[in-house]
Amino acid sequence: GAGVSQSPSNKVTEKGKDVELRCDPISGHTALYWYRQSLGQGLEFLIYFQGNSAPDKSGLPSDRFSAERTGGSVSTLTIQRTQQEDSAVYLCASTGTSADTQYFGPGTRLTVL
């Protein structure tokens, strides 16, 4: 596709439920990042995938958060037993040949009631 896509664009869930957020990076991009942005805040790094290497999970806030990337392309971020403090916009980004330039998707706005 032309850019990074994410789905759903909005997700409202109840506290304690599990959610899955999806990211389709730009075709051919080898690196994929997940960030979280709370209202009025900057971007908080969550996890980074590079090719077939083990992901850098150093930003995941708790063991309720996990992510996988299948076939080096699509990635899914899973949040188990959601809490109200998980409410935020979850952004995905990918990079290509210019290793540092990250292209962001439109984000998924998660609201935990």
Tell me: does residue 58 bind another protein (CB under 8 A). Answer: yes
Could you give the CA distance from residue 23 to residue 103 in angstroms, rounded to a whole number?
12
Q: Which stretch binds another protein (CB under 8 A): 19-27, 61-69, 77-85, 99-107?
A: 99-107
Q: Which stretch binds another protein (CB under 8 A): 20-28, 68-76, 77-85, 98-106?
A: 98-106
Q: Please tell me the chain's helix, strand, coil percentages from 3-state DSSP, rounded to the nearest 5.
A: 5, 45, 50
Could you give the CA distance from residue 98 to residue 29 in angstroms, rounded to a whole number?
10
Q: Which is nearer to another protein, 14 or 98 (CB)?
A: 98
7, 13, 22, 56: which one contacts another protein (CB under 8 A)? Answer: 56
Tell me: does residue 29 bind another protein (CB under 8 A). Answer: no
Tell me: does residue 51 bind another protein (CB under 8 A). Answer: no
* Contact by Cβ (8 Å): 23, 75: yes
Could you give the CA distance from residue 104 to residue 15 in angstroms, rounded to a whole number?
28
